[in-house]
Amino acid sequence: MTQGSEGTGVAGTLPPRRTPAARLVEALFGVFRTMEVDLRLAGMIVALVCIWLGFGWASNGAFLTARNFYDVSVQSVPVAIMATGMVLVIVSRGIDLSVGSIMGLTGYLAAMTQRIWLTENLGIPTASPEIWIIAVVAAIAIGALIGAIQGGLVAYIGIPSFIVTLGGLLIWRGLIFKLQQGQTIAPMDRNFSVMGGGLSTTGPFGAPGGALGEWPTWIVGILLCVGIVYALLASRRKRREYGFPVRPPWALAILMIGGCLAALGAMFAYTSYPLPILLTQRYAQEHGIVGADAANLVIPVGIAMPVVLLLVVGLVMWYVTTRRQFGRYVFAIGGNPEAAELAGINTRRTIMGTFILLGILCAVAGCIQTARLDAGVTSTGTGYELLVIGAAVIGGTSFAGGIGTIQGAIVGAVLMQSLKSGMVTIGLDSPMQDVAIGSVLVFAVGLDTVVRRRSK
Amino acid sequence: MSMAGKSKSAPAVTQAPLVELRDINVSFGGLHAVQDVTVDLRPGEVVGLVGGNGAGKTTLIRTLSGAHPADSGQIFIDGRPVMIENPRDAQELGIETIYQTLALADNIDAPGNFFLGRELKTRTGSLNDAAMESATRSVIGRLNPNFKNFKTPVTSLSGGQRQSVAVGRAIHFNARILIMDEPTAALGPAETQQVRDVIKQLKSEGIGIFLISHDIHDVFDLADRISVMLHGRLVGTVNKVEVTTDQVLAMIIMGKLPSEVSSTDLARLHG
């Protein structure tokens, strides 16, 4: 009874004070809640779209081309891959300042493996398929080893992760210069450089080299759609089985259609980027295409190889984070380390695991970057620690521990790269770019902090 | 003061105790937090562990739950000596603990906390969230029918709901020995009554319970025996039916056994 009378009281006094806009926002929030979508992620995607549209307008459309979409997505990949691992480290109340140096060292070692040890020393002919595999595996093994050393010092000796990885930042970078006197090693093995997304006339799927070309791109798009639909239906069926409430059908339909349209839209953008004219001509020459056929030849580039790798890494990391015991433990440690310990969790091994995982991801990023530059250089990854931490934090990871998502970190990385590329496109000078990125970082985290406090 | 429930036949004295903590010592630096304490617990029995702040109750009990190993002393389960070096050892011996702090990960939802460290998995080794939520719903539903928030982080729950998660977790895994550290300290009257009912229910199922409490009325209502600690030492263990609250208060405050307390002491106690 009391509740009822209170209800009418509220209804009688409140609406006049509320603007239509506020009511619209309120209604939208209600819709999002019913759809069970992550509000923070939705907000970030809206911000990302605004950034693209804003720079597109400011650059008279130059920013909104398929080519730029390709470039921005490829440039985001190394930071995004490392940020997914950084999320787990920060969630368990740690930090890793050495990611840029690990990326540099592992990338350089991958270059040395393929250009010096395997070919010059062991005499394996260049472009043999085992070369790129061994180079990548070696880089990953070193990344894991470095992660294990740093994680072990943090978890078992108890040295603060800030200090251990600050030391690592200097140590791993310094070691690069001790290998091969810091010379630039170039070019990379043909098969290895494919994972960098650079365009050339040869690649595993034909013309576009570091990208998949037209039909494989659409297959990726269709696989993504099938995955989205399957994931939504499977979780729904499971919840039904146990008699838990499920989303209403309209919400399910919106999520399915929205997800599939986004995936197919991205694939459309990739396939509408044609191979640049010079490369197309060279392809025509190599394949004996002449005359009108050559003049009319359009080769769609398709989805970039590094982006495919990011999709795979993102999926694996999402699975590890949300569906595996390891991920659950990382979050438990971040939320309440003592409770995790009392629940019988091996907290030290778990924390060491987060550093190993991040070390492996740094190696993957190092290989991709080295392949993209088509050279092993000493400066690879310099300053990346700040971009990676920034991407994770913009993506909603909390330094207090216990909060963060993989998808948020990936969107955070794309957001930062979009800002950077956009500012280059409109001709903002480099110091102002730093000012802008720094401001956005503080603003984003400030907004997040305020919203989180309000919601409590 | 309710003295009901004592008519139930007490376990035979010759039976080996379910748990015995013998000559336990724990010190932190120079501070001797627990000194040569021996207590025991039989199946279906509630032993109240009382004493002022800093008496060493929680420290003593943490040696049994594996949270902090003893410096010296022995622990016997069913008369056999056991080693408890970490919480997992304790869990494997059927010892469950409800900590005063509840030991919940605030950022994780109720089912996640419920199964923390003992997650249910699918055939592929993934977390089986639906099965965990289902089990959590059925256990907590019995403890607290008003509990509805199974998908939100427990930080957004009320004190009573958080307590339900901690209690439910302790009783779900077929504990034989239950340690409850101030289980009603943060609760309202109705919720306190629920916890008391749970304790009586578990006791009737043959589970042994160590109950740590400030509240002497709680202890008199629920415990069969009362062990009193003062300054890290055991003052003594008494049968509830043989003592009065005043006598237990004298043990807590003055460290004197009922036989040692004079009438002037009792007068002083009442100021």
Under DSSP, is residue B208 helix (H, G, I), strand (E, B) or coil?
Answer: strand
**In whole angstroms, what is the distance from residue A296 CA to residue A291 CA?**
9
**In whole angstroms, what is the distance from residue A320 CA to residue B127 CA?**
10
The residues spanned by each domain of chain B are 19-269
CA–CA min distance A236, chain B (Å):
11
Q: What is the pLDDT of residue A455?
A: 67
Return the bridge partners of B41, or none.
Answer: B19
**In whole angstroms, what is the distance from residue B236 CA to residue B227 CA?**
6
For residue A352, what are the contacts with CB-CB under 8 A and spacing of at least 6? A148, A151, A152, A154, A155, A156
Give me the count of residues in chain B.
271
Amino acid identity at A165: T
Provide CATH code, domain B19-269. 3.40.50.300
Average pLDDT, chain B: 88
What value, to the nearest 5°, has the Cα angle with vertex B17 and ends B14 and B18? Answer: 145
Q: What is the pLDDT of residue A7?
A: 38
> Does the pLDDT of residue B2 top 80, yes or no?
no
* Chain position carrying tokens 């690592």: A168
Q: What is the pLDDT of residue B15?
A: 67
**Shortest CA distance from A324: residue in chain B:** B126
Paired tokens of A188? 């990379």
Higher-pLDDT residue of A235, B111? B111
Q: Tell if the CB–CB gap between B117 and A323 is shorter than 8 Å.
A: no
Amino acid identity at A382: T
Structural contact between residues B265 and B256, judged by C-beta atoms closer than 8 angstroms: yes
Q: What is the pLDDT of residue B137?
A: 93
Give this complex's ipTM: 0.88
**Residues of B with CB below 8 A from A403's CB?**
107
Q: Tell if the CB–CB gap between A324 and B126 is shorter than 8 Å.
A: yes
Paired tokens of A286? 């190599």
Q: In a mutagenesis test of the B interface, which of A328, A348, A452, A456 is the best target, namely the one with the most B β-carbons within 10 Å? A: A328
Q: What is the pLDDT of residue A286?
A: 84
Structural contact between residues B226 and B238, judged by C-beta atoms closer than 8 angstroms: yes
**Residues of B with CB below 8 A from A318's CB?**
none
> Does the pLDDT of residue B10 top 60, yes or no?
no
Give me the count of residues in chain A.
456
- On the CB side of B230, CA atoms within 13 Å amount to 14
Written as tens digits, the pLDDT of chain A (456 aa) is 333 333 333 444 444 566 788 888 888 777 777 777 788 888 899 999 999 999 999 999 999 999 999 999 999 999 999 999 999 999 999 999 999 999 999 999 999 999 999 988 898 888 888 999 999 999 999 999 999 999 999 999 999 999 999 999 999 999 999 998 889 998 999 889 999 998 876 766 666 788 988 899 999 999 999 999 999 999 899 888 888 888 888 989 999 999 999 999 999 999 999 988 888 888 888 888 888 888 888 889 999 999 999 999 999 999 999 999 999 999 999 999 999 999 999 999 999 999 999 999 999 999 999 999 999 999 999 999 999 999 999 999 999 899 999 999 999 999 999 999 999 999 999 899 989 989 988 998 888 888 778 765
Structural contact between residues A349 and A420, judged by C-beta atoms closer than 8 angstroms: no
**Residues of A with CB below 8 A from B117's CB?**
340, 343-345
Is this prediction's pTM over 0.95? no
**In whole angstroms, what is the distance from residue B74 CA to residue B20 CA?**
8
- Residue A346's nearest CA partner among A365, A330, A361, A362 is A330
**Residues of B with CB below 8 A from A323's CB?**
126-127
**In whole angstroms, what is the distance from residue A48 CA to residue A53 CA?**
9
Q: What is the mean pLDDT of residues B22-35?
A: 92
Return the bridge partners of A300, or none.
Answer: A274
Q: Which uninterrupted H or E stretch holds A307?
A: helix A305-323
**Shortest CA distance from A400: residue in chain B:** B107
- Residue A39's nearest CA partner among A289, A383, A376, A407 is A407
CA–CA min distance B243, chain A (Å):
36
> Does the pLDDT of residue B259 top 60, yes or no?
yes
CA–CA min distance B265, chain A (Å):
42
Structural contact between residues B187 and B24, judged by C-beta atoms closer than 8 angstroms: no
Q: What is the pLDDT of residue B269?
A: 73
**In whole angstroms, what is the distance from residue A159 CA to residue A163 CA?**
7
> Does the pLDDT of residue B202 top 50, yes or no?
yes
Q: What is the pLDDT of residue A206?
A: 65
For residue B168, what are the contacts with CB-CB under 8 A and spacing of at least 6? B114, B136, B139, B140, B143
For residue B178, what are the contacts with CB-CB under 8 A and spacing of at least 6? B95, B96, B97, B98, B170, B171, B202, B207, B208, B209, B210
Strands B225-230 and B80-82: unpaired
**Shortest CA distance from A319: residue in chain B:** B126
- Residue B249's nearest CA partner among B221, B224, B226 is B226
